[in-house]
Amino acid sequence: MNEQENQPERLDLQPGPTPGSRPDPQGDPLQIPADPSQMTSRRPSFADTYRSVQTANEEDVVEDPEERPTTAFVVVDAQNDFSEGGSLAVDGAIAAYRATHMHLAGRAGKYSVLVTTRDNHIDPGSHWSDEPDYVDSWPRHCAAGEPGSEIHPEMVRALDYFALTNPQAVRIDVTKGEFEAAYSGFEGKTEAGVSLADALRAAEVTHLEVVGVATDHCVRATVLDALREGFEVTVHVNQIAAVDADRGAAALREMADAGAEV
């Protein structure tokens, strides 16, 4: 016997936004009306949400494999030292993070995976220099365990929003550059030592949407590696910032020529 085609509609909906409850993009998207049963004295921390995502099993994520999104949202090096006020500040970085927050409002659910990459230097050799050329050598930045290596608070807000509105998404965090320069997120590994490419394939990702800094360095390298690895790539040009405007424009042309949608 064939299974009945019209299955009863599933009602085990997860708490979260419905099409009619899109947060007002003019307001603070984090001000989601709280479910009284979930009211606490504080907003859930990102760590709380992160842990709950990590403990969700695959069956929780996949209700209908045909409907499952296969796109990862990739946040490149949105770290304090690369942002205004940091040791290697990129002009426009914070504006890019705010644009990401607005982009995610109402759209976070289209992504099955959220990726962050971080520069995480311990002893990166000549990548750090007291007399940097800002092409191959740089001021000391993103030292492992120091505040400069943490994700900037404006991007943390965007990531918190993502976690609250799409708690089923898989989170992949990679660090890179411990003992050498590492511009591409694909040089990074998770805490468990899994490469970014392997982690994305394990999550059945086929398409990456990339944001972050810097356009002419780590965004460029990450996008070009992603294309080489066989992923489709979209770069959100309003959510990136370059160290140098001319090099940034050239990098965008290079990414487009290599097959990225920019």
As measured in angstroms, the least distance from the Cβ of 197 to Zn ion is 20
Q: Helix H segments across 166-214?
A: 196-202
Q: Between 49 and 120, whose beta carbon lies closer to Zn ion?
A: 120
Closest CA to 178 of 156, 145, 211, 151: 145
As measured in angstroms, the least distance from the Cβ of 179 to Zn ion is 11
Q: Between 119 and 187, whose beta carbon lies closer to Zn ion?
A: 119
Among candidate residues 142, 160, 218, 225, the one labeled active-site is: 218
What's the DSSP call for residue 216?
Answer: I
Q: Helix H segments across 76-195?
A: 93-104, 153-165
**Neighbour-count burial of 1, counting CB atoms closer than 10 A to its CB (0-12 exposed, 13-18 middle, 19+ buried):** exposed
Among candidate residues 81, 119, 142, 176, the one labeled active-site is: 176
For residues 128 and 180, the answer to whether their CB atoms sit within 8 Å is: no
Q: Is 77 known to be catalytic?
A: yes
* Binding segment (CB under 5 A) for Zn ion, from list 9-17, 112-120, 144-152, 214-222: 112-120
For residues 152 and 159, the answer to whether their CB atoms sit within 8 Å is: no
173 binds Zn ion (CB under 5 A): no
119 binds Zn ion (CB under 5 A): yes
Q: Which residue type does 227 have?
A: L
Q: Between 142 and 163, whose beta carbon lies closer to Zn ion?
A: 142
As measured in angstroms, the least distance from the Cβ of 154 to Zn ion is 20
Is cis: bond before 214, omega within 30 of 0?
Answer: yes
Q: Between 23 and 86, whose beta carbon lies closer to Zn ion?
A: 86
Residues that bind Zn ion (CB under 5 A): 119
**Residues forming the active site:** 77, 176, 218
